[in-house]
Amino acid sequence: MILDRVKPLDAILATAQKKSLHRSLGWLQLTLLGIGCVIGTGIFVLTAVGAQKAGPGLMVAFAIAGAVCIVAALCYAEIAAMIPVAGSAYTYSYATIGEFFAWTVGWALIMEYAIAASAVSVGWSGYFSGTVLGGLGIDLPTYLSAGPLALGGVEGGLINLPALLIALLVTGLLVIGTSESAKVNAVLVAIKVTALTAFVIITLGSSDFDPGNFNPFLPAGVFGGWGTGVGAVGAAATMFFAYVGFDAVSTAAEETKDPQRNVPIGLVGSLLFCTVFYILVAAGAIGTVGGQPIMDAMGLPLEAGSAELARQCALPQYAEALVCSNEPLAHVLKVLGFSGFGNAIGLAAFVALPSVILVLIFGQTRIFFVMSRDGLLPEKLSQVHPRFRTPHIVTIITGLAVAIGAAFFPVGQLADISNAGTLYAFLMVAIAVMVLRVKDPGRKRHFRVPFVWLVAPLTIVGCVLLFFNLPTAAMLFLPGWGALGILIYFGYSRSRSHLGRGIVEVVDDVAGEETMVPIHPSDPQG
């Protein structure tokens, strides 16, 4: 039977306790970890993409995405506090609905985090080339600053070298150690929040702020049509990408002190804090310079990240359009005449966006780590560096994959593809919460979702709604990636699964001794 392997929750906790990563993160570090991912991508990078999809309705898109994330975060908070181990939705699924679905979730998360990190690397490259190099009078050749036009880049583009390099640099930092990375991240979060606060004050208080810029408010409507990826809901499906930060917090549960208390605080706190900034910054940008999309002959917004949009943005009449900017927030302030502040915003993004890349690669490597620890992937991948105490092998592999994606693809396409995996994982977490309420109602819950039989179904409905409002290509990528994963599962992972072999492997990292612990006969196994 495919669905017969459900890993005992006590075995998951015991395995993690024996072979675990160092617990060094508190509630403040977790909250900053979440803010480090959430604040940055959607604002510094995807504001232009979202405006191209929804126009001023971008503000509605942020609200829709935020609402789905709030109910999803509540589900995450309950289950992450119950199961404070690495693996996020993968581990939660393993303990509730079984190994097969857990594999599909883990496989989707691997795609989600890696592609998301590539997207942010591309966004960072725009600020680096525009503000930093531009401010120094250096014009990086097109063939070194963007991917090829055929992949949604620009005319004459070949490789996005800055994006490739920043992904590799962040990977090196993560290999050195989680604690060191978290300290750097805290500084970068402070820089980002300060810069965005200044942006909100300047734009909302500017004499150039014109309510007329919000008309028409929904140029592509609320629903742009299934598979089009436009309209307020279509933009929400893209902007959902930026909220992945709270998911990354849950992947750090195994490295958290007092996770039963700190994980829920980090999850919900970072999400609520960040949502306010999304809406305020979007209002300031659109109210001052406008945010109407570039339309095609049928009166619909051109697809973000498409070759045709790149051609239109190269025309003189769109030189100052928000939707064509690679550094949208710096662009807004420069258009308003605040070049100094615009450069400061650009520098803040240049300095701070690597923290987003850091959190995303961090989350992806922890998924790899725990899947390897369960025997579903080669066990050498879960090897911990003897000095740095980090999963260095999977970190390096992930970093190389992220760098390659960032070098050749545009931010809009990468974000939409990443979201397909994100939404699937969030949906499975909502299911896992309900299953655990039925299967294990007596287990201690340090945080309980209020009205769980309303909140969890709302999470499922919200994720399905957003998924079917992604562009068709992004929707099709997930089942294609999933089919490859299923082949690997049945061809390699299922026969090597520790649970399937009736054992739980426990490794004593200090003594270097390996012990095979049989699963009790009454426990489910394949």
Helical (H) or strand (E) element with 50: helix 47-54
Which CA distances in Å does 290 have to 56, 217, 237, 242, 381? Answer: 8, 11, 22, 22, 48
3-state secondary structure of 516: strand
Which two structure tokens, joined as six digits, stand for 30?
Answer: 């977790």
All residues at 6 or more sequence positions from 168 whose CB lies less than 8 Å from its CB, including other chains: 399, 400, 403
Spatial contact of 282 and 255, defined as CB atoms under 8 Å apart: no
- Count of C-beta atoms within a 10 Å radius of residue 465: 16
Rounded CA-CA distance 89/424 in Å is 10
Write out the DSSP string of 220-262: T-S---TTT--HHHHHHHHHGGGGGHHHHHHHTGGGBSSHHHH
Rounded CA-CA distance 332/203 in Å is 9
Which two structure tokens, joined as six digits, stand for 367?
Answer: 């998924």
Look at residue 166 in the predicted model and tell me its pLDDT.
94
Which two structure tokens, joined as six digits, stand for 154?
Answer: 């620009």
Q: How large is the C-alpha radius of gyration of the chain? A: 22
Task: Give the predicted TM-score (pTM) of the model.
Answer: 0.80
Which two structure tokens, joined as six digits, stand for 508?
Answer: 């004593």
All residues at 6 or more sequence positions from 395 whose CB lies less than 8 Å from its CB, including other chains: 171, 174, 175, 361, 365
Rounded CA-CA distance 389/350 in Å is 29
Look at residue 277 in the predicted model and tell me its pLDDT.
84
- Count of C-beta atoms within a 10 Å radius of residue 407: 22
Look at residue 247 in the predicted model and tell me its pLDDT.
63
Look at residue 466 in the predicted model and tell me its pLDDT.
93
Rounded CA-CA distance 399/478 in Å is 21
Strands (E), 55-153: none
Which two structure tokens, joined as six digits, stand for 121?
Answer: 């690397």
Cα 46 to the center of its chain, rounded Å: 13
Spatial contact of 506 and 18, defined as CB atoms under 8 Å apart: yes
Which among 356, 311, 373 has a CA at the least distance from the CA of 498?
Answer: 373
Look at residue 456 in the predicted model and tell me its pLDDT.
95
Which among 308, 348, 307, 309 has a CA at the least distance from the CA of 325?
Answer: 309
Rounded CA-CA distance 170/177 in Å is 11
Look at residue 195 in the predicted model and tell me its pLDDT.
86
Of the CA atoms within 13 Å of residue 177, those in its CB half-sphere come to: 11
Per-residue pLDDT of the chain (526 residues; tens, 9 = 90+): 565 677 777 766 665 555 555 666 777 877 777 777 677 667 787 888 899 999 999 999 998 998 898 889 888 888 877 776 666 788 888 878 888 988 998 999 888 888 988 988 988 898 898 888 888 888 888 888 888 877 767 777 889 999 999 999 988 888 887 555 556 766 777 888 888 889 999 999 888 899 999 999 999 888 877 778 889 999 999 888 877 767 666 656 656 777 767 777 877 788 888 888 889 999 999 999 988 999 888 888 888 777 788 888 888 888 888 888 888 888 899 889 888 888 888 888 888 788 778 878 887 887 888 888 888 988 777 777 777 777 788 888 888 999 998 988 887 778 888 899 889 988 998 998 998 899 888 877 777 888 899 999 999 999 999 999 998 888 999 999 999 999 999 999 888 888 887 765 444 333 333 333 444 333 333 3
Look at residue 253 in the predicted model and tell me its pLDDT.
61
Rounded CA-CA distance 402/397 in Å is 9
Which CA distances in Å does 498 have to 11, 70, 214, 370? Answer: 11, 35, 57, 12
Query: How much of the chain is in helix, strand and coil states, percent to nearest 5?
Result: 70, 5, 25
Rounded CA-CA distance 50/48 in Å is 6
Strands (E), 308-399: none
Which phi-psi region, left, alpha or beta, contains residue 6 (left: φ > 0; alpha: ψ -120 to 50)? beta
Which CA distances in Å does 167 have to 146, 403, 409, 453? Answer: 15, 5, 14, 41
Rounded CA-CA distance 235/52 in Å is 8
Which among 500, 24, 61, 48 has a CA at the least distance from the CA of 237?
Answer: 61
3-state secondary structure of 25: strand
Question: Which residues on adjacent β-strands are paired with residue 256?
Answer: 25
Write out the DSSP string of 148-216: BGGGT-BTT---BHHHHHHHHHHHHHHHH-HHHHHHHHHHHHHHHHHHHHHHHHHHHT-TT--GGGG-S
Cα 302 to the center of its chain, rounded Å: 24
Rounded CA-CA distance 411/479 in Å is 21
Look at residue 254 in the predicted model and tell me its pLDDT.
59
